[in-house]
Structure 1
Amino acid sequence: MFSSFRSRSRVSKTVKPIKRSVGERSKLKTQQKLDSSMAGSSMISPIITLVVGPDLRLFAAYEHALLKSPYFAKRIQDQFYESSSKRLKLPDMLPEVFACVLEYLYTDDYFPRLCKGNRYHSWELEDAQDMHNSGGRGRVPSTIYHPGVDGNYLLTDTVVYCAAEKLGLEELKRLALIKQGLRLCALDDVLIRSARYAYANTPDTDRRLRPLFIEMIIQDRKRFIRSPTMQMEMRLGGSKFFFDLFVAMCRHVDEFVDRTNKSSPRTI
């Protein structure tokens, strides 16, 4: 009956799907996954309030999500065993970093998300996929403001890695490490300050983040030999001897590489 009032032009038209960018599709999938996770567990998992940072920022999360972290699991077991007030305090964690942790607990990633690159077994950040022609590495800032350190700015993924270390989230550590390698840091002071932060917030047994900073400095040694920030850092570590030792080491590596290249037979 109702079809008799439709015009031919309306019947013949087809509805075109809305085109979305790669980033928009990724964010939509993330939100759908988050919504389905929350909907499936809202009836069985209590909500826990988290008070984060010195400004007491409030977050809410389902208990089942927090239990993925051994740190949270222990605190929930110890604190809520005889208490009905489900509230956790995290005064030493930045709210922006905890937001990344919380997103990971629900979706197994955090913004900007990792995407498969065009090359085999390569990765890139979701907002960098449309920037190949310009040589960009994404529009998401690689640094985060940290009021508790001198100079204030640190590499975001370094701080996320250290938070994951505290919370016992090994996969989040892996993600943060990959993302740090994908985000360019052009400032000597930020990189060195982040290295110092990493050493202060990871155990001596760390074999991921600490070696990454050493490798970054060695690979870019010509830049850091001329860096006033690096020289000042070495002096603060004890005396100018440490900086001179660093320069000598870098020059020795250069000489070794040159000798190796000259002695190696060339192949056509």
Structure 2
Amino acid sequence: MKITIYDGGETIGGNKIHLEDRRTGLFLDFGMNFRKYSEYFQEYLRERSSRGIHDLLSLDLIPKLRIYRPDLIPSDVNPMEFPEVRVDAVLLSHAHLDHCGNVGLLNGEIPLVASPFTLAILKAIKDTSRSTSGSEIVYFSPREAKEGEGRLLLSSKRYLGRKLIFTDEISEELRLFLLDTPRREIEGLSLESIEETGLEIEAFEVDHSIYGATGYLVRGETSLAYTGDLRMHGKNRKKTK
């Protein structure tokens, strides 16, 4: 198994860890690196949304890989210059932005594996917040190039969804919540259990300061355990042990 740490190796959070063996490629989280972001941005000073991933690539805030949503690539960015890595899914440990905040940039064809609690939290964040790449995890508004100026990307009036793979059974109420939106229909969003995927992954609930935190055991030529964030002192610490 080949392990590549694209981010998060020397910081708290910002995890972007890629695993690959002969059959499967996976990302373990794809979070925002707050330390790097703080060198350029503040609460009211953010990357230019109309430039897609241009600013984040230019500032080395995301890895230069051919894995991002095509609608976020302006005409002055050539993704063919970047290496392509296999990504069959992203295993998301929990809904804190330092672990999930860049997932919304990834190609919409890449499935997202997470606990039912985490999926519910991320869906609620998207439903109730303005559309930014950081919140566009469960579903997103595809951008369209401005006529005559391909460097500028404008939001459309459509919603596209991802394939969501849940680590445990979900209720009918949660299923309906994930598939619906208060504004308009989500195209292409689908739900699947982890058992249906054929991925050799086991998920384990762990204790953390947010509901739904999950660790994973990835089996392959070599097995690997990924804890995400966990704690040993919370009221649910027995789940971690």
In proportion to residue count, which structure has more helix?
Answer: 1
Name the structure, 1 or 2, with higher relative contact order (CA <8 Å, separation 6+). 2
Same fold (TM over 0.5): no
Q: Which has the larger radius of gyration?
A: 1
TM norm structure 2: 0.29
TM norm structure 1: 0.27
